[in-house]
Amino acid sequence: MIKVKKILPITGSLAALFFSLSAFSTADASDYKAPRNSLGQPDLQGVWDFRTLTPLERPKALGDKAVFSSDEAETFRQTVTAINDTDNKKDLDLPSEIDVEVPYNSFWLDFGDSVGDDRRTSLIVDPANGRLPELTPAAMAGRQNYLLRKLPVREFFSIGLNTFRPVGPESLGLSERCMLGFNAGPPLIPSAYNNNIRIVQTPSHVVLMTEMIHDARIIPMDGSAHLPQEMKKWSGDSRGHWDGDTLVVETTNFTDKTPAYQLPNGNVDDPTQIGALGSGKDMKLTERFTRTGKSRLVYEYTVEAPSTFTKPFTVAIEMRPTEDQMYEYACHEGNHAMVGMLGGARMMEKEEAKK
């Protein structure tokens, strides 16, 4: 949530899939067999927590190092935990506007308290360097217009844009307008809080209910075709099937009003590299859910967006079960900040007009 100089990330090939599943399988037992529901399917139901300190991208300083040693993982954990501790601002050299833009103390934040059991140095497992692929020339040009906030706005939030004055609600980020959650995707991207998802299975559908923005994707499992290409949706059009013990969800028909990918706030190598990348207009998302232990579920996804990235990339996240309740995220009901931002912008314009 905080864009500062010292902050670290909050955060499909067959080889990548093998690496991620084999690494996670040691969390409980390598010969683990997932429990079955009454339909004979692997039982994935329940609330799963996907928070983690593992960064999305491998820091450049680590080079080809794919896995931390146990000591390195502990050092990394301590470093990131200290940085995420907003109560310790005196040591972080934070700009004063942070107290206005992000008035949360550490009690309200939930970044997680460890990297994954496999101690990977990045959530990205393909490409092998643990980093996002290069952007296409068109997507790079779009990045240059980031601060211009051209419509349609594909950014998830406006934090850090200190000189930005919204003309209207359409100028604000998608999560600020309660359209999409900044970590809920699809795909999921671990972030500052509400890193929970509930999975419900029925004979004909699977429901993926995210805590952020409380969005529910109701996914047919009957082999039916996707919607016609001209029918676009904020969260795309999803269809699911079983590949052995793995639930596979393929999603297309994203609207061009969403990004192909939203970077987490903050980057270990360049803190200015935040925000939306490209457009979801030609994006295909393939998600895979596989239980690898009693207390582990591997969530893996591959993003294919040829107008944005020069090649696909794959992310793998370890999710853990939780007995905690998922509470309603009453976004619009409590969205007083939008009124304040719009009112403040109009007030500044009036003050300048008097000069």
pLDDT beyond 70 at 17: no
Q: How far apart are the C-alpha atoms of 53 and 74, rounded to whole Å? A: 11
pLDDT(23) > 70: no
Say whether pLDDT at 27 is over 60: no
The rounded mean pLDDT for the chain is: 84
28, part of any domain: yes
Number of domains in the chain: 1
Confidence of residue 100 (pLDDT cuts 50, 70, 90): low
Residue 342 located in a structural domain: no
Residue linked to tokens 């009036």: 350
Please tell me the least confidently modeled range out of 29-38, 49-58, 120-129, 242-251.
Answer: 29-38
pLDDT at 1 > cutoff 50: no
> What is the spatial distance between Cα 314 and Cα 288, in angstroms, rounded to a whole number?
11
Give, as one character, the DSSP assignment of residue 9. P
Longest pairwise C-alpha distance within the chain: 74
User: Is residue 258 within 8 Å of residue 245, measured between CB atoms?
Assistant: no
Has residue 54 got a pLDDT over 80? yes
Question: Which domain range does residue 289 map to?
Answer: 14-330
| Residue 125 lies inside a defined structural domain of this protein | yes
> In this predicted structure, what is the pLDDT of residue 162?
58
How far is the C-alpha of 355 from the C-alpha of 347, rounded, in Å?
A: 13
- Contact in structure between 288 and 251 (CB atoms under 8 Å): no
User: Quick check: 92 pLDDT over 70?
Assistant: no
18 has pLDDT over 60? no
Cβ proximity of 65 and 47 under 8 Å:
no
Work out the pLDDT band at 120, boundaries 50, 70, 90: very high
Asked, for residue 344, whether it belongs to a domain, the answer is no
Distance CA 174, CA 212 (A): 12
Does residue 298 form part of some domain?
yes
> Of 82-91, 148-157, 341-350, which one has max mean pLDDT?
341-350
Question: In sequence order, which residues have a C-beta less than 8 Å from that of residue 117 and are 6 or more positions away?
Answer: 24, 26, 27, 296, 318
In 10 A of CB 183, how many CB atoms? 28
pLDDT at 150: 77
- Answer whether residue 236 shows pLDDT above 90: yes
- What pLDDT does residue 257 have? 93
Tens digit of each residue's pLDDT (9 = 90 or more) over 260-285: 999 886 555 655 556 789 999 999 99
Q: Calculate mean pLDDT across residues 139-156.
A: 76
Model pLDDT, residue 329? 85
Tell me: pLDDT of 122 over 80: yes
Residue 88 binned pLDDT confidence (cut-offs 50, 70, 90): confident
* pLDDT on residue 91: 58
Distance of CA 304 to the CA centre of its chain: 16
Residue linked to tokens 């349609």? 152
Average pLDDT for 32-38: 93
CB contact at 8 A, 271 and 5:
yes
Check residue 90 and give its pLDDT. 57
pLDDT in the model for residue 105: 81
**Residues facing residue 243 across a β-bridge:** 246
pTM of the model: 0.87
Assess contact for 317 and 123: CB atoms under 8 A. yes
- pLDDT for residue 94 is more than 70: no
Of the candidates 206, 2, 188, the one whose C-alpha atom is nearest the C-alpha of residue 197 is 188
pLDDT digits (tens, 9 = 90+) for 157-203: 776 565 678 888 888 889 888 889 889 989 999 998 999 999 999 99
Cβ pair 141, 170 in contact under 8 A: no
CA angle 236, 278, 138 (to 5 degrees): 135
Output the CA angle 50-306-213, nearest 5 degrees.
35
- Would residue 338 count as lying in a domain? no
CA dihedral 256→171→271→87, nearest 10 degrees, is: -130
3-state SS class at 199: strand
CA distance 211 to 42: 23
pLDDT of residue 102: 65
Tens-place pLDDT, residues 315-324: 999 999 999 8
Residue 8 in domain: no
For residue 149, pLDDT over 70 is answered with: no
Q: Which of 20-29, 136-145, 231-240 has the highest mean pLDDT?
A: 231-240
Q: How far is CA 42 from the centre of its chain?
A: 25
| Listed residue (133, 127, 21) closest to 66, CA to CA | 127
Classify residue 93 as left (phi > 0), alpha (psi -120 to 50) or beta.
Answer: left
Q: What is the pLDDT of residues 288-307, one digit of tens each?
A: 999 999 999 999 999 999 99
| pLDDT computed for residue 5 by the predictor | 30
Within a domain: 2? no
Residue 98 phi, psi dihedral angles, 5° rounding:
-60, -35
The pLDDT confidence band at residue 86, using thresholds 50, 70 and 90, is: confident
Q: How far apart are CA 337 and CA 173, in angstroms?
A: 12
Give the three-class secondary structure for 297. strand
